């Protein structure tokens, strides 16, 4: 049975610190494609995903989108934006369905003021999120679609307890900001190389080390930063470099 501590940030808290949050947490379903917050919308809750994966994207005038950050079980979303403007930085949309725990922003504010460990956890996560966002911007600007695709597959693999990932070409194309046909071509190359196996709506990781070799340095940089600031938020999966 999934518990609130299926989220690795919540799991990192000592029992007495988690106890301050637990009465105010509620489970919520996040179906694929659900827009949790639109850009500029007021933020009322902070979310701690379990197996759901949610992306923060900027919507362009031509209808396209660019990924700024991704949130899974190692993360929380919504709260950082609420600290600054109380409005969403961009569109938060569910890419992979699952559950999350959520808590009213005002309640989390009150608890963090009173509890030093909760406050420190939020501070460390905010620094890790900033690092991820800046690295993602650089990655989108200079690295190949193939390397970025490998980064996204690896990041998804980190967030799920399985090699078979419910990833479609459409989802990858949206996150990478490219045409679906481009993703199909890249995925075909990765399958020929023996790194993945494609099924209907599923990409199975068959050679994780090979994917790490094909990925850009951004995957390792983002993961290493999280592990430094938030030990235990990533599973014990080999990461080269």
* Tens digits of residue pLDDT in 79-118: 987 777 788 989 999 999 999 999 999 999 999 999 999 9
> What superfamily does domain 4-139 belong to in CATH?
Jelly Rolls (2.60.120.10)
Prediction pTM value: 0.90
- Check: CB of residue 10 under 8 Å from CB of residue 232: no
Q: Parse the chain into domains and list their residue ranges.
A: 4-139, 144-215
As beta bridge partners, residue 55 has 70, 93
Distance of CA 174 to the CA centre of its chain: 15
d(CA 235, CA 95): 20
Architecture of the domain spanning 144-215: Orthogonal Bundle (1.10)
d(CA 205, CA 222): 20
pLDDT score recorded for residue 239: 46
- Check: CB of residue 81 under 8 Å from CB of residue 69: no
pLDDT score recorded for residue 240: 47
- Check: CB of residue 136 under 8 Å from CB of residue 68: yes
Q: Which residues of the chain have pLDDT under 70?
A: 235-241
């Amino acid at each position: 049975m999934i518990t609130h501590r299926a989220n690795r940030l919540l799991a990192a808290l000592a029992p007495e610190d988690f106890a301050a949050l637990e009465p105010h947490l509620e489970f919520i379903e996040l179906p694929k494609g659900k827009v949790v917050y639109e850009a500029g919308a007021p933020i009322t809750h902070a979310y701690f995903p379990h197996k759901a994966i949610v992306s923060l994207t900027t919507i362009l005038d031509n209808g396209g989108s660019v990924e700024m950050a991704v949130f899974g079980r190692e993360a929380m979303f919504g709260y950082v934006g609420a600290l600054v403007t109380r409005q969403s930085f961009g569109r938060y949309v569910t890419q992979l369905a699952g559950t999350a725990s959520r808590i009213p922003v005002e309640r989390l504010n009150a608890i963090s003021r009173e509890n030093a460990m909760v406050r420190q956890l939020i501070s460390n996560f905010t620094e890790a999120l900033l690092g991820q966002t800046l690295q993602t911007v650089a990655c989108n600007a200079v690295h190949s679609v193939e390397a970025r695709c490998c980064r996204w597959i690896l990041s998804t693999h980190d967030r799920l307890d399985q090699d078979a990932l419910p990833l479609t070409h459409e989802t990858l194309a949206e996150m990478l900001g490219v045409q679906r046909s481009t993703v199909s071509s890249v995925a075909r190359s990765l399958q020929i190389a023996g790194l993945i196996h494609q099924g209907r709506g599923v990409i199975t990781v068959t050679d994780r080390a090979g994917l790490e070799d094909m990925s850009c340095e951004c995957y390792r940089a983002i993961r290493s930063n999280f592990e430094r600031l938030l030990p235990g938020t990533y599973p014990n999966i080999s990461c080269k470099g």
